[in-house]
Amino acid sequence: MQNGMEQKIDGVVDLLMTDYAKGRVIDENKMFEYPDKNVVIDILEKLKVVIYPGYYRNSNYRTYTVRNNISILLEDIIFNLIRQTAIVLRYSPRFENADADAIHAESERVTFSFLKKIPMIREYIETDIQAFYDGDPAAYNKDEIICTYPGLYAIFSSRIAHELFLLGVPLIPRIMTEHAHSLTGIDIHPGTTIGKYFFIDHGTGIVIGETTEIGNNVKIYQGVTLGALSTRGGQNLRGKKRHPTICDNVTIYSGASILGGDTVIGKNVVIGGNCFITNSIPEGAKVSVKSQELMFHYSSDKPVETREINPEDTCFHKI
């Protein structure tokens, strides 16, 4: 009986070995040439402790001062970030054929350049926390926002990943933002540029594309897409502005889609729920879907009642 099972298993293994020998992308063995996702996520979580030193701690270490805690964390982050960056730099054409010493030197340079950005990242995140507190009456204190709000975690991950993206680090930034995406339902490409006081309310289903530019004091609700008008051009579109620009003091309500690299949403604009926008909106406009209609069914012996919702023409830029 056992021999029969072993033979069946050997047969399946032989079948797979033959399949692995076909030379396709999925057949490549990059076990030691590919970044470790778990290590990258661990770096992100340790950076969360560095960003919020009084809110999170690493249970692996026993320290008595903030300085000691941060020093130990940074040693761990530096070691692993240099190592993971050295792996992914070979995805860059500049380092595809570089020797190990050149790769290590660049990985170390990138790592310390990134770490010097942390005070700036913390400055921006402080404004995000304030935006969450000012914008959400359900937030009773800032500790609640830091410890529980998925939108803030997505923004934190995006700000970390964006700085690595700007330093030319392949793959690692995307691993970080996709980890946040899996936890929060909020998909922000690490190439996205985001100003201060950014507020994501609820957040589930938000998609923000690579070349999106977001100004200061912008508020976005669940289900919003800031995307490309078309991706049929495929790789020919790489490096081109495909996603919209959102100027300062804009509010975008749930379900709205704003598409296209030439689309600019002016300052102080309010975008109503479920709007589909592919053209620029002038400064100060309020946008809503034209002539919404509600239907009320009371009972079988009463007729259906309909009511149109038409915002005042003076207040809304209709689409």
CATH number of the domain where residue 34 is located:
1.10.3130.10
Residues 138 and 54 grouped into a single domain: yes
CB 215 within 8 A of CB 250: yes
> In whole angstroms, what is the distance from residue 250 CA to residue 272 CA?
11
Residues 184 and 35 grouped into a single domain: yes
Residues 52 and 174 grouped into a single domain: yes
Residues 149 and 212 grouped into a single domain: no
Is 7 within a domain? no
125 to 135, 154, 199, 206: CA distances (angstroms): 15, 11, 10, 19
Please determine, for residue 188, whether its predicted confidence score (pLDDT) is greater than 70. Answer: yes
Q: pLDDT class for 4, splitting at 50, 70, 90?
A: confident
Is 21 within a domain? no
Is 299 within a domain? yes
Is 4 within a domain? no
Residues 122 and 169 grouped into a single domain: yes
Residues 212 and 252 grouped into a single domain: yes
What proportion of the chain, given as a percentage, has pLDDT over 70?
87
Please determine, for residue 304, whether its predicted confidence score (pLDDT) is greater than 70. Answer: no
Is 16 within a domain? no
Query: What does the pLDDT look like over 24-59, one tens digit per residue?
Result: 888 887 665 789 999 999 999 999 999 998 767 666
Residues 148 and 184 grouped into a single domain: yes
Please determine, for residue 146, whether its predicted confidence score (pLDDT) is greater than 70. Answer: yes
CB 132 within 8 A of CB 139: yes
> In whole angstroms, what is the distance from residue 59 CA to residue 31 CA?
29
Residues 253 and 181 grouped into a single domain: no
**DSSP bridge pairs for 312:** none
- What's the pLDDT at 64? 66
Domain count, the chain: 2
CB 157 within 8 A of CB 177: yes
Residues 158 and 291 grouped into a single domain: no
Residues 182 and 256 grouped into a single domain: no
The per-residue b/e assignment along 84-98, b for 16 or more CB within 10 angstroms, e otherwise, is bbbbbbeeeeebeee
Q: Which residues are within 8 A (CB) of 132 and not within 5 positions of it... i.e. 6 or more apart?
A: 139, 142, 145, 149, 151, 152, 199
Is 159 within a domain? yes
Please determine, for residue 280, whether its predicted confidence score (pLDDT) is greater than 80. Answer: yes
* Average pLDDT, integer, range 204-222: 97
Amino acid at 205: G
Is 1 within a domain? no
Q: Which residue has the tokens 């207040």?
A: 315
Q: In terms of residue numbers, what domain contains 248?
A: 192-229+242-319
Please determine, for residue 117, whether its predicted confidence score (pLDDT) is greater than 70. Answer: yes
Is 161 within a domain? yes
Residues 180 and 196 grouped into a single domain: no
**In this structure, what CATH number is given to the domain that contains residue 254?**
2.160.10.10
Residues 171 and 210 grouped into a single domain: no
